């Protein structure tokens, strides 16, 4: 791999042009590929692929090669030559590279746009300086005119002549000033255009990064083929009456559906078991459920094309059923002919056992195989009695093979559902697995405010904030706490203030005294330091190396998220810093987690480690 081969005709023109330019530069060195690779500590194979046009090199390699040739020949490279190589490299990246290469090209364009913006801004400042000088000169001339008007020793003719001369000069300067102002306005428009191009480039980079992340998380077995022709709907279908459950509506005993007559050429939609309250518009999105909400949206808008199956897991009463029903409502609203069915795993097993054999089992299978979208809630409740596991696996295989969307929810990830068997668990793990975590404080406040508006009660914002900060496990406990506070206030005819909420919730919330919270914060500091290989004293010290600052900000963020300590107290634990430092760390980490997946992964892993530790703060993190 350390030899040069003739540039083949099957190479893209952009890659060939870049390779030819690189070869001409490399010939100026007068050494072999292997020797140059040893000098630059590079892989000879990679260097040969760069020069053979089969791989696009990074710009750092091209720049190093230009500099080495210049040193060898004893003269500096011209800006024109560097710009020519940059254009060739950018063109090769744009047309011959991967999605990551195109991101790099767009980032280069963004940097060029920034440089152009800086040059334009400098020119604007220069013009503004010239404008200020012109204005000063005009002011001086006007002062001279006033002085001449006050001069009484000269004759009227000489005065008029001098005044006319200076007035002409003022007119010319004012005209020049107007021209300069027009140039400034034109440059301002150019700055706006450059900023707009920069914004478009940033959005394109973000889109490509999201595509790359989705490609990394998407398993190879995912099917992206468009859905084929749909089968004709059955003449009738069975369903179950709806009863409330821990996460929302649950199916009950079977009941016969009355077939509705559909227009000619159109299928009668099935929306069995969907709670009308659970739609995307009423789902409160936060940091802990944003990814699950986005995945559910994608499945609802394009079933069986991205994530099939979609597996949503999380503890009870945090919105899993809401997401499943919202997918069904959205799919039916955007595609009215879609046949949707929501069912719990427990109900599915009961229907299978009640179907028996023969025609009953055939009707059971037709009822599910004729669906376009199957939503199965609480799959952990699916028992193996009577072969229910195997029957669901067969339904799963046939629906997936027919390009039909399957969405499953559970209170734990598939790998922990050992009672389902390896084959069924393998199928559940073949799609996208997303975790819905308990809502953060801002989302809890929003949920409480929305609940209060629905109930028509007026609750002060500070009371809602107090309830949200002390009830954190799930939405059901949160709403129950609000109901309890409201009932206590009504019975005692007292206002729903913070003091009353503290009294009511005293028996609901475990003791979290200051020492308890501070112990939790110190444990977070120790575990964060151990994760990054630094001491707790260093995290709380004054050193400001880049790696240490990031670790310190992560620890501050976790202390604020996982404890109820005030920002001032957290700052004191970190070497006497003020609350502004803690607020800044919180904002910085939220932005970094949204922009850089590595930070998000580190934060997720570190949070999981801290929550897994036994000790006093564990009930705070459940």
Q: What's the pLDDT tens digit per position in 276-299?
A: 889 999 898 988 889 999 999 999
Confidence check: pLDDT of 256 > 70: no
What average pLDDT score do residues 585-614 get?
A: 82
By the 8 A CB rule, do 382 and 388 touch? yes
Neighbour count for residue 612 (Cβ, 10 Å): 9
Q: Residue 110: CA atoms inside 13 Å, Cβ hemisphere, count?
A: 15
pLDDT tens column, 186-228: 887 777 777 787 778 767 776 775 676 566 555 333 333 233 3
Distance separating alpha carbons of residues 338 and 332, to the nearest angstrom: 6
State the pLDDT at residue 102.
62
DSSP-assigned states of every residue in 407-438: EEEESS-GGG-GGG-HHHHHHHTTSEEEEPPP
Res. 327 pLDDT band, cuts 50 70 90 = very high
pTM: 0.42
78 is in an annotated binding site: no
pLDDT recorded at residue 622:
29
Which three-class secondary structure state does DSSP give residue 229?
coil
pLDDT category, 610, cuts 50, 70, 90?
confident
In the chain, % of residues over pLDDT 90? 17
Q: What number is the average pLDDT over the span 588-602?
A: 83
Q: Strand 339-344 relative to strand 270-272: parallel, antiparallel, unpaired? A: parallel
What pairing do the DSSP bridges indicate for beta strands 249-256 and 238-244?
A: antiparallel
Q: Is 41 exposed, middle or buried (0-12, 13-18, 19+ CB in 10 A)?
A: exposed
Higher pLDDT, 424 or 563: 424
> Which pLDDT score, from 0 to 100, does residue 171 have?
87
Which of 461, 294, 440, 309 has the alpha carbon at shortest distance from 375? Answer: 309
Summary mean pLDDT of the chain: 79
129 marked ligand binding residue: no
103-117, 269-283, 494-508, 548-562, range with the lowest pLDDT: 103-117
pLDDT at 371: 92
Whether 230 shows a pLDDT value over 60: the answer reads no
Token pair belonging to 62 = 């091209």
Q: Is residue 382's pLDDT more than 70?
A: yes
Buried-state track 57-66, b at ≥16 Cβ within 10 A, e below 16: bebebbeebb
Residue 270 predicted with pLDDT over 60: no
- Residue 70 labelled as part of a binding site: no
What the block records as the tokens of 206 is 């973000």
**What percent of the chain is modeled with pLDDT above 70?**
83
**Is residue 321 a known part of a binding site?**
yes
Residue in the block written with tokens 């008007």: 149
pLDDT at 218: 55
């Amino acid at each position: 791999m350390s030899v040069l081969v003739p540039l083949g005709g099957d190479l893209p023109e952009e890659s060939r042009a870049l390779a030819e330019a690189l070869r001409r530069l490399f010939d100026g060195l007068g050494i072999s590929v292997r020797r140059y690779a040893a000098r630059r500590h590079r892989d000879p194979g990679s260097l040969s692929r760069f020069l053979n046009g089969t791989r696009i090199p990074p710009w750092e390699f091209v720049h190093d090669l230009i500099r080495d040739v210049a040193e060898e020949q004893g003269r500096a490279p011209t800006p024109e030559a560097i710009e020519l190589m940059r254009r060739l490299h950018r063109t090769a990246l744009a047309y011959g590279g991967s999605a990551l290469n195109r991101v790099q090209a767009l980032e280069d364009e963004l940097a060029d746009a920034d440089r152009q913006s800086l040059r334009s801004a400098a020119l604007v400042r220069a013009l503004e300086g010239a404008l200020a000088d012109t204005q000063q000169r005009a002011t001086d001339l006007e002062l001279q005119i006033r002085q001449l008007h006050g001069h009484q020793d000269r004759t009227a003719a000489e005065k008029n002549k001098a005044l006319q001369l200076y007035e002409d000069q003022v007119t010319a300067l004012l005209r020049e000033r107007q021209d300069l102002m027009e140039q400034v306005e034109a440059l301002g428009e150019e700055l706006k255009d450059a900023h707009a191009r920069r914004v478009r480039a940033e959005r394109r980079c973000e889109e490509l990064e999201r595509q790359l992340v989705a490609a990394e998380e998407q398993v190879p077995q995912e099917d992206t083929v468009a859905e084929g022709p749909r089968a004709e709907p059955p003449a009738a279908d069975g369903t179950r009456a709806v009863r409330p459950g821990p996460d929302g509506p649950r199916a009950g005993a079977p009941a016969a559906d009355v077939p509705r007559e559909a227009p000619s050429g159109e299928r009668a939609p099935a929306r069995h078991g969907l709670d009308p309250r659970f739609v995307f518009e009423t789902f409160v999105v936060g940091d802990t459920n944003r990814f699950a909400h986005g995945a559910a949206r994608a499945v609802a808008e394009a079933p069986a094309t991205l994530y099939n199956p979609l597996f949503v897991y999380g503890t009870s009463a945090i919105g899993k059923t809401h997401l499943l029903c919202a997918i069904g409502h959205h799919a039916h609203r955007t595609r009215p002919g879609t046949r949707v069915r929501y069912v719990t795993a427990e109900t599915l097993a009961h229907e299978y056992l009640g179907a028996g054999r023969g025609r009953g089992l055939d009707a059971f299978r037709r009822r599910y195989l004729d669906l376009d979208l199957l939503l199965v809630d609480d799959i952990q409740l699916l028992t193996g009695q009577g072969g229910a596991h195997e029957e669901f696996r067969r339904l799963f295989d046939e629906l997936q093979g027919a390009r039909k969307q399957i969405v499953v929810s559970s209170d734990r990830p598939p790998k922990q559902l050992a009672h389902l068997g390896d084959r069924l668990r393998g199928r559940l793990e073949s799609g996208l697995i997303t975790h819905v975590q308990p809502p953060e404080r801002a989302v809890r406040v929003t949920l409480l405010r929305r609940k209060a508006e629905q109930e028509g009660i007026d609750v002060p914002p500070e009371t809602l904030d107090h309830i949200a900060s002390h009830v954190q496990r799930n939405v059901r406990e949160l709403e129950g706490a609000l109901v309890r506070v409201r009932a206590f206030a009504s019975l005692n005819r007292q206002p729903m203030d913070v003091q009353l909420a503290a009294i009511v919730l005293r028996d609901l919330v475990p003791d979290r005294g200051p020492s308890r919270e501070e112990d939790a914060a110190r444990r977070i500091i120790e575990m964060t330091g151990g994760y990054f290989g630094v001491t707790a004293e260093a995290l709380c010290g004054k050193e400001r190396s880049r790696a240490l600052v990031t670790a310190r900000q992560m620890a501050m963020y976790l202390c604020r998220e996982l404890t109820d300590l005030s920002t001032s107290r957290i700052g004191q634990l970190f070497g006497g810093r003020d609350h502004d430092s803690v607020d800044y760390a919180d904002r910085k980490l939220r932005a970094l987690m949204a922009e850089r997946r590595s930070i998000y992964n580190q934060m997720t892993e570190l949070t999981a480690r801290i929550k897994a530790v036994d000790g006093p703060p564990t009930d705070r993190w459940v």
